[in-house]
Amino acid sequence: MILVIAEKPSVASTIATVLGANSKENNCFANEKYIVSWCVGHLVGLAMPDAYDERYAEKPWKFENLPILPYDWKFEINKSTKQQFNVLKSLMSRKDVTQIICATDAGREGECIFRYVYNEVGCNKPVKRLWTSSLEESAIKKAFANLKDDSEYDALYSAGLSRVKADWLIGMNATRLFSIRYGTPLNIGRVQTPTLAMIVERNNKVKNFIKEPFYKVDIDLGEFTATSADEFKSEYEANKLASLVNKTDFTVTNMFEKRKSIAPPKLYDLTSLQRDANSIYGYTAQKTLDYLQSLYEKKLATYPRTDSQYITDDMENTANQLIEHIYSVYTKIPRMPSNVNQCINNSMVSDHHALLPTEQITKYDLSSLPETEFNILFLLAVRLCAAVGEDYKYSTLTVELKSDNSDKLFAAYQTYPDNFGWKYIDACVRIKSKKELESHFNPNKYLPSLCLNKKFSTVTATVSEHFTSPPKQFTDATLLSAMETAGNTDYVEGSDVEKKGLGTPATRAGIIENLVSREYIVRDGKKILPTDRGIKLIECVPDDVKSAKMTAVWETALQGIEKGIVSAEEFMLQIEDTVRYLVQTYSSVDSSKHFERWSVVGVCPVCGKKVYAYPKSYSCEDKNCGFTVWKNICGKNLTVTQAEKLLTKGKTDTLKGLKSKSGKTFDAALKLNSENKTELVFANSKYKKGK
């Protein structure tokens, strides 16, 4: 018998169907040749510190018990999924099982998930590796026809295990070290903390931004307007020019046209899909991953956790057929010329190719999908058609004019499309109606027919005031982009290393959600903002811990381990040296920073004491006072920003998408009444609902 171990039950079910293992037994499928079972994520992981020494379990933590540097690493079985571990242990131990196929997700993490279980069981039976990016029947059959010895992935496993150990060493030691130093529980992580640092830094830039005015001179030429080429910091200087050229004659001194083109976008990897899903639909990174995972398990999309935006040359025919399937299923997508070759790059595909829908879309009732999953699948379909499309080509006409009274240049611009190309396809997910689509690509006002030396008499000139724009707070989309490129300038120039940024496509969403759950950041609509606690944490920890530079150093080493050119042992010795340095440098109490257990959101309107953001409510610190605003308001969480407005102004902004008990959605603001109780105020209605 051959035992096949997948990463999830749904994947195991799909593989079992392909293999004809239709007999359902105790948490597995079987036939006369195969047994197919599964992990449930990480069944086994690195043990906690107290597994090495009882003193690490002591509370409160102590400086003298640091650093924690395991010599002989221990693993432990996840208690919540121990039953499934025992199922796999029993199956691996069966005498009639002579071979095992590792069918967990193809990558560092998937390899570790399987090997942790295999090693914990103490199994020594031969293992083959199944490597596939799709759960379609044809892809699974092809992967089974090309099985390799799992030993060929030893370097991949070594890199994955090294990364996990290094994260454990930094996380366990730094978390305890700085929690003791500042007298409050703090969570420190090699990826989490630099991500928080970026959010805090962006927030500081927004808060400290001082807008500065600048001025331009505009001239009205009847059928169109033009603007001075110069910007003026001084209104006085702008007024001088306006006075000089006002009511004078202007002449067209130059006209020129530039033709430009924009190449199609690349196919989606997970991060770029998460960015678009956040920008277009407002989905968080984690929600997008969840919806995509569900589509993958329904065999409608390829492997979710990919960091590639290309396909391989052997997929050319498959991609062309898939494009035809998309056009037959999604009539909303305009059919345009396509060239699959521009999406092919074998060198840019390592573990998995780019995200794609599958041919299953022709057989599945897509109308039965939840709207969220339908939208994600539609994004994948549109992106494939756009990525193989023609360049977007456009021309920009520039008209330059001068006054008879001045040498200062004025200019008017007109941009118009020559070939919509891929943008016409891409627009169908961003623009709702055909009318809006036409107006998007066809400007309402074109420059009139002009020629050199054309004169305009007694032209009116006025001064317009403008302001510099502040940076914008992060959203899921922009934070993902920042995480993707963080630390990239710290890689050695010219080195043969793929720049990875903070985290991986598979982990970035979870990192953001961890920061939310630990109350280091909050969401205000699409905005991601740091809490007071998050800001103070970043103020306290050294650059060694909060800089993204560590990621570049690590990733260079880990990719070297994967390629067999860097020693995992040497890498781990360097991590241990880093931990020793941190403990040696920061093993002292620092009373200069005071951390509140909970974030303060304002002043209690009843007694004047602090109102804290507790897990389920915004409540007065004085329990006898009783002032409370529940976070969950008709199915939506009241953000910190809105709670602050409620406490300072007595009313929030209009909260959209609230749900009544009957399930109907509505919009309303929350206000404090004369008794400091909350009530809903409905738009265009005097009706108020007490809460």
Radius of gyration, alpha carbons of the chain: 30
Report strand pairing: 148-149 vs 455-467.
unpaired
Return the H-helix or E-strand segment holding 534: helix 532-540
Type of residue found at 181: R
Contacts of 134 (CB under 8 A, 6+ apart): 140, 299, 302, 303, 358
- Phi then psi dihedrals of residue 196, to 5 deg: -60, -40
Return the H-helix or E-strand segment holding 9: helix 9-19
Type of residue found at 309: Q
Tokens encoding 509: 């969403």
Contact between 468 and 211 (Cβ < 8 Å) = yes
DSSP letter string, 194-255: HHHHHHHHHHHHHHH----EEEEEEEE-SS-EEEESS-BS-HHHHHHHHHHHTTEEEEEEEE
Return the H-helix or E-strand segment holding 259: strand 248-262
Tell the residue number behind the tokens 């035809």, with chain if given. 324
* Coil, helix or strand at residue 687: coil
Q: How many CB atoms lie within 10 A of CB 600?
A: 15
Contact between 244 and 465 (Cβ < 8 Å) = no
Catalytic residues: 303
Tell the residue number behind the tokens 């994600």, with chain if given. 376
Q: How many CB atoms lie within 10 A of CB 633?
A: 19
Return the H-helix or E-strand segment holding 114: helix 108-121
Of 682, 268, 224, 227, nearest to 690 (Cα)?
682
Q: What does the alpha-carbon distance between residue 469 and residue 482 come to, in Å, rounded to a whole number?
A: 20
Return the H-helix or E-strand segment holding 517: helix 508-517
Contacts of 685 (CB under 8 A, 6+ apart): none
Task: Tell me whether the omega of the peptide bond preceding residue 60 falls within 30 degrees of 0, making it cis.
Answer: yes
Contact between 633 and 656 (Cβ < 8 Å) = no
Q: What does the alpha-carbon distance between residue 507 and residue 63 come to, in Å, rounded to a whole number?
A: 31
Contact between 75 and 120 (Cβ < 8 Å) = yes
* Local structure of residue 501 (DSSP, 8 states): -
- Phi then psi dihedrals of residue 224, to 5 deg: -160, 170
Contact between 375 and 274 (Cβ < 8 Å) = no
**Any long-range contacts for 573-578 (C-beta under 8 Å, 24+ apart)?**
575/165, 575/166, 575/169, 575/170, 576/67, 576/69, 576/169, 578/170, 578/544
> To the nearest 10°, the Cα dihedral for 385, 391, 395, 396?
80
Contact between 20 and 31 (Cβ < 8 Å) = yes
DSSP letter string, 359-390: GGGGTS-GGGS-HHHHHHHHHHHHHHHHHTSP
Type of residue found at 525: G
Q: What does the alpha-carbon distance between residue 54 and residue 45 come to, in Å, rounded to a whole number?
A: 19
Q: What are the DSSP E strand ranges found in 52-210?
A: 75-77, 99-103, 127-129, 148-149
C-alpha separations of 633 from 618, 639, 667, 682, 687 in Å: 12, 10, 11, 14, 17
